[in-house]
């Protein structure tokens, strides 16, 4: 919240690193009891503001109502229609972002991680994903295996990747990211170099040991094996404690 601005009810983000638009839209739909009812006065005012903003971003003299009439009559050329469609798309997405921040900020069910860092678990799919793009740089004839096929086999249609929340002691949570929700050309590897604000929804629990590649498809819960080495190292309990898992909807730099 800004200092000297008592009326502000939600934070201001200086930069958005990640925003899962589909998840945010679902959240707003559920929160509002369905998609917005444009017959309501408040929503009509919002739509008017959106249309005014689109007119302001378009070329001088542009009138949205004339454009709509022209479109219905088939008198608008494809190039102009494409440009206005892009303006609609960007404006609606900006509205979705601000609406989500406003609602999620005051919702106690949405977990906020403030100025937090994350890192990929050892021997995990997430860590492999971060390095896989660099491995494909090496010429195929110099690699003992086909990296493209290996990437396809390991990563396949995977959409979410888990990262551990940085803490002073042992990790306390797993934050999962939709690989298609990163903004401004950021990627999974960039997260480990940043301290961001994360908004997430708890979706389950898991153990740190279950994040490794060899345990990725082990769906049968087994008791943790206790060895002499693990007892001497003192890490048996820390690696087998259950961690909360959160699907992240928003990540960015807050003012």
Q: Which of these, 153, 156, 197, 158, lies nearest to 175 by C-alpha position?
A: 197
State pLDDT tens for residues 145-181: 666 676 676 677 788 999 999 987 777 899 999 999 9
Residue spans per domain, the chain? 13-109, 112-254
Q: What is the mean pLDDT of residues 95-111?
A: 92
Residue that the structure tokens 């069910």 belong to: 109
pLDDT of residue 6: 44
pLDDT of residue 169: 74
Q: Does 132 have pLDDT greater than 60?
A: yes
pLDDT of residue 29: 87
pLDDT of residue 15: 95
pLDDT of residue 31: 86
> Which comes out higher in pLDDT, residue 128 or 229?
128
Q: Are 175 and 200 in contact (CB under 8 A)?
A: yes
Residue percentage of the chain with pLDDT more than 70: 56
pLDDT of residue 129: 85
pTM: 0.70
First to last CA, the chain: 8
């Amino acid at each position: 919240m800004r200092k000297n601005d008592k009326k502000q009810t939600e934070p201001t983000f200086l930069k958005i690193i990640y925003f899962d638009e589909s998840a945010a839209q679902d959240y707003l739909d559920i929160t509002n009891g369905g998609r917005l009812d444009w017959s309501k006065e408040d929503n009509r005012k919002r739509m008017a503001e959106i249309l005014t903003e689109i007119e302001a971003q378009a070329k001088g003299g542009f009138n949205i109502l004339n454009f709509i009439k022209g479109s219905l009559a088939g008198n608008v050329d494809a190039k102009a229609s494409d440009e206005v469609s892009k303006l609609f798309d960007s404006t609606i997405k900006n509205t979705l972002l601000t609406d989500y921040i406003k609602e999620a900020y005051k919702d106690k069910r949405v977990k906020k991680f403030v100025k937090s860092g994350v890192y990929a678990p050892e021997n995990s799919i997430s860590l492999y994903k971060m390095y896989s793009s660099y491995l494909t740089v090496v010429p195929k004839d110099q690699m003992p295996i086909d990296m493209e096929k290996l990437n396809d086999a390991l990563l396949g249609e995977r959409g979410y990747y888990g990262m551990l929340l940085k803490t002073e002691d042992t990790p306390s949570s797993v934050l999962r990211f939709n690989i298609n929700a990163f903004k401004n050309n950021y990627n999974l590897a960039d997260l480990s170099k940043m301290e961001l604000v994360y908004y997430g929804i708890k979706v389950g629990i898991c153990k740190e040991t279950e994040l490794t590649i060899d345990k990725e498809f082990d769906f049968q819960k087994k008791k943790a094996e206790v060895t002499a080495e693990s007892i001497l190292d003192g890490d048996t309990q820390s690696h087998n404690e259950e961690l909360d898992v959160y699907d992240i909807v928003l990540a960015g730099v807050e003012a």
